[in-house]
Amino acid sequence: MTAIVHPSSYIDANVSIGERTKIWHFCHVQAEVQIGTNCTLGQNVNISSRVKIGNNVKIQNNVSVYEGVELEDYVFCGPSMVFTNDLTPRSKFPKGRENYLRTIVKYGASIGANATIVCGNTIGSWAMVAAGAVVTKDVPDYALVAGVPAEQINWVCECGNVLNNQYNCTECSKQYSLIDGILERVN
């Protein structure tokens, strides 16, 4: 199955869209964007020029993915969450795209509704950002962060459940270990 693009959306030049990807109403995908297979872009999503999006990514309604942002496979962007690409914007002194800061959202990570990711930070693999959080620093793999500014409040399983204090998931039985502050899956 090829990609589905609703006729109300605009796809600019030199865009690649993978098989089974669905782009719903009123989206704008700008030039030279790469979108992988089996992604979903909800209503009113903007993907800026040269952005790269992996496979199986879900982007909910009203999200703009600005130049400088990269989304790896299986990333979830909740409704109306916000990316940025300029830490100190001034209308009078535009920096130009070569000075945009990079923001990377790694494999499997989820960002809650209405959260803001300040540019220049990396969201670790399988991390979860709570709704409404403002991320101002890197988020470790498997960390659950919440608040303004966002702080880590727990660890989460790949399935999304909060881990118990032995770093095990009581929902799906995956087990993890914490070594030198880094959580790793052990089975």
Other beta carbons within 10 Å of 31:
12
Whichever of 28 and 174 has its CB closer to Zn ion, that residue is 174
Q: Which residues contact 167 (CB under 8 A, 6 or more apart)?
A: 155, 175, 176, 177, 178, 183
Q: What are phi and psi of 98, to 5 degrees?
A: -70, -15
Restricted to residues 150-169, the positions that interact with Zn ion (CB under 5 A) are: 157, 159, 161, 169
Binders of Zn ion in range 83-122 (CB under 5 A): none
Instruction: State which residue, 91 or 187, has the beta carbon closest to Zn ion.
Output: 187
Contact between 171 and Zn ion per CB under 5 A: yes
List of residues 6+ apart from 147 with CB closer than 8 A:
130, 133, 134, 153
When binding is defined by CB under 5 A, the residue of 148, 153, 172, 182 that contacts Zn ion is 172
- Measure the CA–CA gap between 90 and 174, rounded to whole angstroms: 47
Alpha carbon dihedral 126, 130, 132, 134, in 10-degree steps, equals: -60
Binding track over 18-57 against Zn ion, x by CB under 5 A: ----------------------------------------
Q: Min. distance of Cβ 163 from Zn ion in angstroms?
A: 8
Using DSSP's 3-state secondary structure scheme, residue 62 falls into coil
Judged by beta carbon, residue 99 or residue 173, the one nearer Zn ion is 173
Given the complex with Zn ion, which of 161 and 177 has the nearer CB atom?
161
The answer to whether residue 4 forms part of the interface with Zn ion (CB under 5 A) is no
* By the rule CB under 5 A, 183 interacts with Zn ion: no
CB 125 within 8 A of CB 144: no
Which residue ranges make up the site for Zn ion (CB under 5 A)?
157, 159, 161, 169, 171-172, 174
